[in-house]
Amino acid sequence: MNTLILILLLILILSIGYAIFLLSKKQEWGSFNEKLLLLERDKTRLTESKIRLESELERKSEELGELKGDVKKISKERDELAGKYETLSLEKTELQSTRKYLEKELGETKDILARHEAEEMRKQKEFEERIHKLASAEKALEDERQRIRREDEEEQSNILEEQARIWNDHEQTVLSRLREVCQKPAIGFILHDNTTLPPLFTKLKPDAVIPFLGQYVVFDAKKSRSIRTYIGEQVKSTARKYKDIPEIYPTVFFVVPANELGELKTLSFVEEGFSFYIISSESVEPILASLRKISEYDTIADFDPQDRETIVNLIANYDRHISLQNAANILFTRESIGLMNSKEGLHSEIQKEIINRKEGMRTKKLNEAELKRISESMSEQERQTEELLAPRVIIGSEERTEVEEKIKFD
């Protein structure tokens, strides 16, 4: 900047010197006034030039200040770039080191991958060979299954045919036995087999029925490989079919082969008001003989007077006993309800505890086998009653008197 100012001053001095030189030349050529005018004009021009140069100098100074600021900024940016360059150089060095490590690992990985691919190809080849062997084995197995299935189907067909034959033979044996017995003069029942059934049995299709006291007694031949479950199922299904048909006598007989009776634990069932008896063909004649004996009594008047009196007394005693039993049950039920209601006077917390305790109690179930055993044997009922009344069970005389008075009506 100083150099520029010196250059401008030098130019100014040279210009003044040049002007003086021209003035001296003008004095030689013109008058003094003209020279003076020229000097004034030159002075004015020089002043204007000075002002212009000062203005230019000031502008250049401002530009110089701006350039200095730019230089500082550029220097700062250069320092920052130098720092970044150094950082980048370090990062480049680290990246190069990392790259070498990764290239090394990549090479090792490629080797491992090549070995794995070779191993995979070997395993794939083995797998394909095994699949081929497995497909062959599966085909052989499927062929064997088909052969076994065909043999099973043939065997099952033969079994079904044999069962059908055995069933048909058993059915024909039962029908033949029924015809033979019904044709005896002492029995003389009319037999309707499954080809001559009355219109009532068009859809029911029993094997045989016999008219008896305005109804029909059903005889059905039954046979199965699983006779135990089969008979129970047949009892239920037959009872459902017969329950709304009053023309069918409430006693039904299932006739099974004699050698299968031993497989059954129960030979009698009660279902939907029907009594079912499992018998063999050998039992057909005594059963039909009994039915013939019963059918000979058309009315109760035909009974022997002593038998008639015994039956009437028995029924009357049954009726009286059941009435007394019902009355006693009603009285004890009333007393039981009153006893249960008496707990309402207890504290609410105690009542809640009682309710909670009852909810946790399970309902006691009767032993069905024991119930059946006792109900079917009068002697067992008597023995059980005697045990209840034995001295080891303490029943006060007052309680016994009170019970006797409650159930005593006459």
- Each domain of the chain, given as residue ranges in start order, spans 2-94, 183-296, 308-364, 366-410
| pLDDT interval class at 410 (50, 70, 90) | very low
Percent of the chain at pLDDT exceeding 90: 5
**pLDDT digit string, tens, across residues 364-403:** 666 777 766 776 676 777 777 777 655 554 555 665 666 5
Q: Give residue for tokens 């005693």.
A: 317
Higher pLDDT, 261 or 334: 261
* 295 pLDDT above the threshold of 70: yes
In angstroms, the Cα distances linking 151 to 147, 157, 198, 334 are: 6, 10, 44, 72
* 333 pLDDT above the threshold of 50: yes
* DSSP per-residue string spanning 159-221: HHHHHHHHHHHHHHHHHHHHHHHHTSTTT----EETTS--GGGTTT--SEEEEETTEEEEEEE
For 30-39, 77-86, 188-197, 304-313, which range has the lowest pLDDT when averaged over its residues? 304-313
pTM for this one? 0.40
CB 297, CB 274: distance < 8 Å: no
**pLDDT digit string, tens, across residues 123-155:** 888 888 888 887 887 788 888 888 888 877 776
Average pLDDT, stretch 150-168? Answer: 64
Average pLDDT, stretch 30-59? Answer: 75
**pLDDT digit string, tens, across residues 185-214:** 888 898 898 888 888 887 788 888 999 888
* 253 pLDDT above the threshold of 90: yes
Percent of the chain at pLDDT exceeding 70: 72
- Residue 167's pLDDT is what? 63
Q: Which of 18-27, 94-103, 320-329 has the highest mean pLDDT?
A: 94-103
Q: Which of 30-44, 174-188, 195-209, 293-307 has the highest mean pLDDT?
A: 174-188
Burial of residue 261 (number of CB atoms within 10 Å: 0-12, 13-18, 19+): middle
* 347 pLDDT above the threshold of 80: no
Q: Among 279, 216, 275, 284, which residue's Cα sits nearest to residue 251?
A: 275
- Residue 349's pLDDT is what? 77
Distance between CA atoms of 79 and 141, rounded to whole angstroms?
Answer: 85
Element (H, E) at 223: none
Higher pLDDT, 100 or 316: 100
Q: Among 237, 232, 243, which residue's Cα sits nearest to residue 273?
A: 243
* 299 pLDDT above the threshold of 70: no
- Residue 78's pLDDT is what? 80
383, amino acid identity: R
Q: Which of 123-132, 214-223, 349-358 has the highest mean pLDDT?
A: 214-223
* 338 pLDDT above the threshold of 80: no
Mean pLDDT (the chain) is 76
- Residue 276's pLDDT is what? 92
365: its two tokens:
């179930």
- Residue 216's pLDDT is what? 92
Average pLDDT, stretch 306-321? Answer: 59
Higher pLDDT, 79 or 164: 79
